[in-house]
Amino acid sequence: MTIEFETPKPITQQQYVLKTVADNMMRPHSRYFDENEHEIPWDYINFMHQAMKASGAGSLAPSDKKKDPNKPKRPPIGYQMLAHMLEVLSWGDTGMYLITPGGGLGAAAVQSAGNPEQKKKFLARFMDEKPTFAAMCMTEADAGSDTSKIRANAVLDDETNEWVLNGEKIFVTAGDKALTDYEEAGQGFIVVWATIDPEAGRAGMRSFVVEAGTPGAKVTKMEHKLGIRASDTVTIVLQDVRVPFENILGKPTVEKTTKGFKGAMATFDATRPLVAAMGIGVARAALEFVQEKLAEEGVEIRYGKPRNTLTSIERDVIDMEVMVRSAWLVTLKAVWMADNRKSNALEASMSKVKAGDVGPKVTQKAIEILGPLGYSREFLLEKWFRDAKITDIYEGTGQINRLVVARNLLGYRGSQLR
């Protein structure tokens, strides 16, 4: 099986529509929602929700339709389509993209670790009349990159057959929209990482679905951030939160292995390349803006000439192009592997590392080339510079992903290389 570099036709068609959305519904409002943090762009959200419903892109739930055995099988392109979609929408505005209805990490967790009944129950709601949101709750004050230190706990109440959750989660992306009962939105949910046995370490880690409106689950803080300001990032407190027994993702018993933990971590093998695609979209926006401004001033990039004959600006622009394209290629490989059910832990983390490195470098270099105009708020370049940094931080920091890459390349376990 080989990777095809020609973009599949469905993705090409999708790109045309998404570029129109990015040009007309995102770019013109980028500055406003950057400066009015926590204000919700319902017009964009509702438009995207209806568009995704019409195309079927919002449905992650298993289909009841029977497949025609005589119909030729199409190569799987689901994750590739998502990567292209995220790259274009992040080119438009990555903060606004992050509040696009469709589930994000919360839905990805159910998709990766949920059983068929859970997928049908929780994922089908993204096709409801109102836009629905989901979020992943993992990070704690004392448990950032080292998830083994998570202290949120879940205890089974034998009398009611419910799980009782307690703990505090910080830096939850889209947590407010997922947990708050907004009149304009459907019933969202959060996926909470907690331990069912603190003595078992990672073997005791499980994920639980907590639906919006559940008593005891409350947003207590909205973060003010450097970038991606249109997206809410919150602290959530869980105090005696009761959820049905069947809302646990994975087995309710502790085994000697860390299979449950690994099952939850598999979510990131699917989503890290998608986060990389977002960062690449921001970097491409900055690169294209610089190329446009240079062209307006009559500056020509002489491709194919010996490097020592090029001007400093020409070398910088070519280097920026190389960085963006190389990051995109490794990202495409990671999502292609995900579509074809190939283990992609190495490639997923490589794409995340590369994009997390490229985004800040390209946007910073773009500001340097344009000087005071790049630094001013007349253009969006300084905003893209701020937006780009998050790619290196969330979904596993650059340092953690470098460890994942090294462990996979060298064949080390986590305990052997930290």
Q: The CATH number of the domain where 405 resides is what?
A: 1.20.140.10
Element (H, E) at 108: helix 104-113
Instruction: Say whether both 216 and 290 belong to one domain.
Output: no
CB burial of 60-92 (b: ≥16 within 10 Å; e: otherwise) equals bbeeeeeeeeeeeeeeebebbbbbbbbbbbbbb
The answer to whether 143 and 205 have CB atoms below 8 angstroms apart is: no
Yes or no: say if 27 and 93 are a contact pair by the CB < 8 Å rule.
yes
Q: What single-letter DSSP state applies at residue 140? A: B
Per-position DSSP letters for 244-277, written without gaps between them: EGGGEES-SS--SS-HHHHHHHHHHHHHHHHHHH
- Decide which of 237, 257, 277 is a domain's last residue: 257
Give me the CATH number covering residue 151: 2.40.110.10
pLDDT at 203: 85
In this structure, what token pair is assigned to residue 268? 């990131």
Contacts of residue 262, Cβ cutoff 8 Å, sequence gap at least 6: none
**Could you tell me if 73 and 151 are in contact, meaning their C-beta atoms sit under 8 angstroms apart?**
no
State residue 390 phi and psi, 5-degree precision: -65, -25
- Whether residues 160 and 196 share a domain: the answer is yes
Q: What is the CA radius of gyration of the chain?
A: 22
In a domain, 374, yes or no: yes
Query: Residues 247, 344: one domain?
Result: no
> Domain count of the chain?
3
The boundaries of the domain holding residue 35 are 9-62+75-125
Residues 341 and 392 in one domain: yes
- Do 137 and 79 lie in one domain? The reply is no
Question: How far is Cα 170 from Cα 143, in angstroms, rounded to an integer?
Answer: 10
CB 247 within 8 A of CB 207: no
- The CA-atom distances, in angstroms, between 19 and each of 27, 88, 234, 279 are 11, 6, 30, 17
Residues 223 and 251 in one domain: yes
Please check whether residues 114 and 21 belong to one and the same domain. Answer: yes
| 3-state SS class at 161 | coil
Instruction: Please check whether residue 231 is in contact with residue 40, taking contact to mean a CB–CB distance below 8 angstroms.
Output: no
For the four alpha carbons of 185, 154, 120 and 107, in that order, the dihedral sign comes to positive
Q: Which two tokens stand for residue 254?
A: 């502790």
**Residues 24 and 86 reside in one and the same domain:** yes
287 falls within a domain = yes
List b or e across 212-223, with b for residues whose CB sees 16 or more CB atoms inside 10 angstroms: bebeebebeeeb
Residues 265 and 401 in one domain: yes
Q: Are 303 and 315 in contact (CB under 8 A)?
A: no
Tell me, yes or no, if 395 is annotated catalytic: yes
The answer to whether residue 91 is domain-embedded is yes
**Phi, psi (deg, nearest 5) at residue 369:** -65, -40
Q: How far is CA 154 from CA 118, 360, 403, 404, in A?
A: 19, 39, 30, 28
CA distance to 62, 118, 129, 332, 342, per residue, from 335 (Å): 20, 24, 30, 5, 10
The number of helix segments (H) and strand segments (E) in the chain equals 13, 8
- Give yes or no: residues 398 and 271 share one domain: yes
Q: Record the pTM.
A: 0.91
Which domain-ending residue is among 257, 282, 309? 257
What CATH number has the domain bearing residue 45? 1.10.540.10
Rounded to an integer, what distance in angstroms lies between the CA atom of residue 414 and that of residue 411? 10
241 found inside a domain: yes
Catalytic residue among 87, 140, 314, 395: 395
4 within a domain of the structure (yes/no): no
In a domain, 136, yes or no: yes
d(CA 340, CA 270): 12
Query: Tens-digit pLDDT profile for the chain (418 aa)?
Result: 566 678 888 899 889 999 999 999 999 999 999 999 999 999 999 999 998 888 766 555 555 556 666 666 777 888 899 999 999 999 999 999 999 988 788 998 898 889 999 999 999 999 999 999 999 999 999 988 777 789 999 999 999 999 999 999 999 999 999 999 999 999 999 999 999 998 888 888 899 999 999 999 999 999 999 999 999 999 999 999 999 999 999 888 876 655 555 655 667 788 899 999 999 999 999 999 999 999 999 999 999 999 999 999 999 999 999 999 999 999 999 999 999 989 999 999 999 999 999 999 999 999 999 999 999 999 999 999 999 999 999 988 999 999 999 999 999 987 788 8
Residue 51 within a domain? yes
Residue keyed to tokens 């980028």? 30
One domain for residues 137 and 121 = no
The pLDDT score that the predictor gives to residue 61 is 55
Name the domain boundary from 125, 143, 163: 125
Does residue 70 lie in a domain region?
A: no
Six-digit token string for 274: 């998608």
Residue 393 sits in the same domain as residue 283: yes
